[in-house]
Structure 1
């Protein structure tokens, strides 16, 4: 099944889980997140904040990632319907979020849009390039609420103004400057965003929530081209959200970056593969020959083994 069921932990204050059926809030409540991005509340220590956050330090398909040529494009476009509507805009402390209704159909599965929230800077990178802002549109399955999918829209700074969705948020930013506050917005225009998502290529992969509990099995659809955001709007959002981007995770299926860090510099360290130098030569030089100045171990001379290998320095290449 394309969209796998998630066994979600009990961390109801996690950004990505807000508004979902499993994590109903009291009427009128704005729950401020208990995790963060600095010091002992930062991503390196999320697994210590709640016993349900174990995947944050051990999961091997964690998000966000760098999108490279190993990540395929979606073979079809989603069908997205987000009507213009009144919404609730709130500050969770860990992000700012909009509670919104909409539907998305993709790969034979129907989803309900529950909310979207902001990350500054972007969590995902395209070819190692980061973007100033990323929006996550969080969906749950209509027939199975444990099926989660996120449409991720990237934004680039522009001198030509912002996408209408962000322009609609801008006048209300001052009303939610303090964590735990909220306000109503009478109308938001999603038409440009919807058209963009349905017409631009989308990168698709199965990863995880980018906030605690970091549960895996979630499908990401990430826009290959960014939408615009003007400098003033970006600075207003950034001044409220501050920094809320989880560090880039390892390639899918590889060891969790926290596991990598735990053995870094030890005998069991995980060294990266040798990279090819320009022109296809290895780091040792053409045809495997060491470069001038390199230290080598000499175990034989003209085919005659030495009783004890010795170290030497290359002073001249053949």
Structure 2
């Protein structure tokens, strides 16, 4: 699905896709401002209407971002980043975000990926155990052997009373120059990834397969969520927020469950109660013992809440 959607999106202006080999700008071409957004009519609820290639935004069953909870496992290995020192990098405003065109190689799960850019979302798109963060940075990678395969390292940022981490400090002085959509500037000396590399080494990395969080919402994207947050100063956060405004897609349904737009379309109807729900299996024998008290939340398929007590343990055949 990712391959087909990327082909359809060959002329699309999409944050997560920008900078990839199949979407390179022609020599001398200016910054292309995104045609989607986060407002009432051009926002996530309507992305599928903006272009035919955005069908997955309303129909995909493995969409991002999600709430990172216990169902998302720690990656078996950590990504290994090799980011060379460069004389300068391009920093630009796409209208939907601000991003830095980067260069580097990341090795993960036996494959090599090319770092092409990182961009920002305020507030964070992913939640970690229900908590959102003020800022999330996506480091977008493209596989070297198969350019249709994408991986995203997601960094969370917490506002701090101290200084920003090195990746933010490297670009903070250039923020005023990209305050207008369509503008760009060269950052001399490149970006200092020292703090990012240290955090990846010290933090748990949580892995799941989801989708682009912007149109065309193509699925099959590997997300590597760095669980522990990095620091951003109050001043830098306010500067970034004033440029980007709000650009976070709403939390999506449990992986494998129906698209949230389908859930919303059925809201207020009897059919909404019959939507398939992905739940973790729990053995009845583990919770139903004589004298055990619990709350019944559903009877005959209808919302209910009554106190109950087990008077006789049920046979294991019902587990």
TM-score category by the smaller chain?
A: 0.7 to 0.9
Residue in structure 2 matched with residue 295 of structure 1 by the alignment:
none
Query: What is the rounded CA distance, in whole Å, between the counterparts of 1:271 and 1:204 in structure 2?
Result: 30
Extract unaligned runs of 5+ from structure 2: 280-286, 288-292, 297-304, 312-319
Residue in structure 1 matched with residue 26 of structure 2 by the alignment:
26
Q: Does 1:281 align with 2:295?
A: yes
Q: Does 1:35 align with 2:36?
A: yes
**1:87 partner SS:** strand
- 1:258 equivalent among 244, 257, 261: 261
**1:225 partner SS:** strand
**Structure 1 residue 26, shift from structure 2 partner:** 1.9
Extract unaligned runs of 5+ from structure 1: 290-318
Matching of residues 19-168 of structure 1 within 5 Å:
19-28=19-28, 29-85=30-86, 86-168=88-170
Question: Given that residues 157 and 228 in structure 1 are in contact (C-alpha distance below 8 angstroms), is that contact kept between their aligned partners in structure 2?
Answer: yes
**Structure 1 residue 286, shift from structure 2 partner:** 2.3
Query: What is the rounded CA distance, in whole Å, between the counterparts of 1:280 and 1:88 in structure 2?
Result: 58
**2:174 partner SS:** helix
Question: Given that residues 53 and 214 in structure 1 are in contact (C-alpha distance below 8 angstroms), is that contact kept between their aligned partners in structure 2?
Answer: yes
CA RMSD for the aligned pairs?
1.9
Query: What is the rounded CA distance, in whole Å, between the counterparts of 1:192 and 1:182 in structure 2?
Result: 25
- 1:192 equivalent among 187, 190, 195: 195
Residue in structure 2 matched with residue 297 of structure 1 by the alignment:
none
Question: Given that residues 66 and 128 in structure 1 are in contact (C-alpha distance below 8 angstroms), is that contact kept between their aligned partners in structure 2?
Answer: yes
Query: What is the rounded CA distance, in whole Å, between the counterparts of 2:270 and 2:74 in structure 1?
Result: 39
Query: What is the rounded CA distance, in whole Å, between the counterparts of 1:288 and 1:259 in structure 2?
Result: 37
- 1:268 equivalent among 240, 258, 271: 271
TM-score (norm 1): 0.85
TM-score (norm 2): 0.85
**Structure 1 residue 5, shift from structure 2 partner:** 5.5
Deviates more, 1:232-241 or 1:16-25: 16-25
Question: Given that residues 139 and 150 in structure 1 are in contact (C-alpha distance below 8 angstroms), is that contact kept between their aligned partners in structure 2?
Answer: yes
Could you give the per-residue CA deviations for residues 136-182 of structure 1, whole angstroms, max 9, x where no partner exists? 00000111111100000000011121101101111000000000000
Query: What is the rounded CA distance, in whole Å, between the counterparts of 1:121 and 1:110 in structure 2?
Result: 30
Question: Given that residues 294 and 309 in structure 2 are in contact (C-alpha distance below 8 angstroms), is that contact kept between their aligned partners in structure 1?
Answer: no
**Structure 1 residue 241, shift from structure 2 partner:** 0.3
Based on CA coordinates, which of the two structures has the bigger radius of gyration?
1
**2:272 partner SS:** coil
Aligned length: 283
**Structure 1 residue 39, shift from structure 2 partner:** 1.4
- 1:210 equivalent among 209, 213, 232: 213
Could you give the per-residue CA deviations for residues 100-130 of structure 1, whole angstroms, max 9, x where no partner exists? 1011000001000000000000000001100
**Structure 1 residue 198, shift from structure 2 partner:** 2.9
**1:151 partner SS:** strand
Question: Given that residues 172 and 185 in structure 1 are in contact (C-alpha distance below 8 angstroms), is that contact kept between their aligned partners in structure 2?
Answer: yes
* Residues 1:37 and 1:288: Cα distance change in structure 2 (over 3 Å): farther
